[in-house]
Structure 1
Amino acid sequence: MRFSANLGFLWADRPLPEAIRAAHAAGFDAVECHWPYDTPPAAIAAALRDTGLEMLSLNTLRGQPGENGLAALPGREAEARDAIDRALDYAAAIGCGAVHVMAGVAQGSGAEAAFRANLDHACARAAAQGATILIEPLNRHDAPGYFLQHSDQAARIIVEAGHPNLRLMFDCYHLQIMEGDLTRRLRALAPLIGHVQIAAVPDRGPPDHGELDYRHIMGVLAGIGWDRPVGAEYRPGGLTEDSLGWMTALRGI
């Protein structure tokens, strides 16, 4: 199994270009990030070129404090689409193949209509540059009130939207908290999954403890033919380099 370092959490104390180089030195196969917009794209592109790593994904902006995204907020469509366009422009500049469109804190039919319309915009724009749009259910403890909380909700939106470049971000940490039964969910949702992320449950630490056996999860992924890097999106609880023992244990699965 191959792994991607999520630089929103790993080496988060370093500028992004330095974090990319640190991930390469530590043996990661790819990187991903949250909000890279304060760093000039040329600096990120140079670090990726120097290391040979691919940036797998980045997020749209969160909006104002507490909003956690804009795409499902009725009446905020112009802002949401500006955030989507900005993310896709940045992704194109650094050779990143996917953008996670953050839904935001919202509920109800109006929120779903706004989310669907903004995803239509995102998918059409992304298709022109060969990019994928990701949506991700977040758990109610870390993201109270977030519009997208369950995998079946995300799957319904993806299937009904009908865009071939709209995919599910399957975050094992969030979905274990909200739903459990990850083995069956991974197998059932495999055709819709665009990226997989891991962290320990319930503390979101390194994936070597807690209530999920990631040796088993990696075996399930291998069984469904997953051949892309799995995203390590966890809080290291200290120096990132000191938290990486899990990678040796899981890489050979």
Structure 2
Amino acid sequence: MPKFAANLTMLFNEVPFLERFALAAKAGFKGVEYLFPYDFDKEALRAALDLHGLRQVLHNLPAGNWAGGERGIAILPDRVDEFRRGVASAIDYATALGCKQVNCLSGIAPVGASDEVLRSTFVANLKLAATELGKHGIKLLIEPINRFDIPGFYLNTPDQAASIIAEVGSDNLFIQYDLYHQQRTEGELIGTFKKHQAKITHVQLADNPGRNEPGTGEIAYGFVFKALDALGYDGWIGCEYKPRTTTEEGLGWLAEVGR
């Protein structure tokens, strides 16, 4: 049975970050995820997890200048050294936080760049990261993201992710399957999940349109949750949505599914 994790980058964001752990636990979440831990002291993050009985489910590799609009550097041939330093930082934090999965954002393809060069850079970086993370028992994930929200993002579909995983050839590289991005890109939420289930180790959600909480848009989340249960998915589902009002006011969907 899937378990739900609060995405602290997007939920409870009306309060300072380290205060969000308490609110997630109070709301009934057993796990948390967020974009990046690197701006915070890892001992303070570990203490917040322990104090509130929460598991660190996922965070991302460093992804370049996020505030400046970058969304990953793994495809960029002139940033390989920075990527490798980021792998070391991710291992440092994930080990301290007990986090067993780290996501790699591919990045936005520069205009006019050679797809062959971008893909070969991505594959080489993933080979290195999968190997280094695997030494510490940490899974490496890659996430397809729709091009409406992030124009030019390199990795867009699970089929593309599966092709890259096959080329990398590592048994420590998996897919992060975001239902919102899949709905915007292709639909076929459950059929696509079934096709790639063997490589999916983390799921995220938001409704569409608006990227708000389940029940506010077109995705039949009651059906989706039952289907994931029936397919035997027992991993985490990260709640990476923008509350339509406040997080607390929008949590009715969680009570309805009995979590």
Instruction: Report the TM-score when normalising by structure 1.
Output: 0.95
Answering whether residue 230 of structure 2 is matched by residue 223 of structure 1, we say yes
Q: Report the equivalent of 2:47.
A: 46
Q: Report the equivalent of 1:85.
A: 88
Answering whether residue 75 of structure 2 is matched by residue 72 of structure 1, we say yes
Q: Separation in 1 of the partners of 2:18 and 2:136?
A: 24
Aligned AA for 1:19?
Answer: R
Q: Separation in 2 of the partners of 1:207 and 1:88?
A: 33
Contact persistence 1:214–1:250 (CA under 8 A): no
Aligned AA for 1:79?
Answer: E
Deviation per CA, 1:187-236: give whole Å up to 9, x if none: 11110101000101121000112111011111111111111221110001
Answering whether residue 259 of structure 2 is matched by residue 235 of structure 1, we say no
Q: SS of the residue aligned with 1:170?
A: strand
Q: Separation in 2 of the partners of 1:67 and 1:94?
A: 25
Structure 2 residues not aligned, in runs of 5+: none
Aligned AA for 2:234?
Answer: D
Contact persistence 1:133–1:166 (CA under 8 A): yes
Give the drift of 1:171: 0.1
Q: Report the equivalent of 2:252.
A: 245
Deviation per CA, 1:30-55: give whole Å up to 9, x if none: 11010121110001101111122111
Instruction: Report the TM-score when normalising by structure 2.
Output: 0.93
Aligned AA for 1:196?
Answer: V
Contact persistence 2:4–2:29 (CA under 8 A): yes
Give the drift of 1:96: 0.9
Q: Separation in 2 of the partners of 1:229 and 1:123?
A: 20
Moved over 6 A (4+): none
Q: Report the equivalent of 1:26.
A: 27
Contact persistence 2:201–2:235 (CA under 8 A): no
Structure 1 residues not aligned, in runs of 5+: none
Q: Separation in 2 of the partners of 1:93 and 1:210?
A: 38
Equivalent in 139, 144, 150 of residue 143 of structure 1: 150
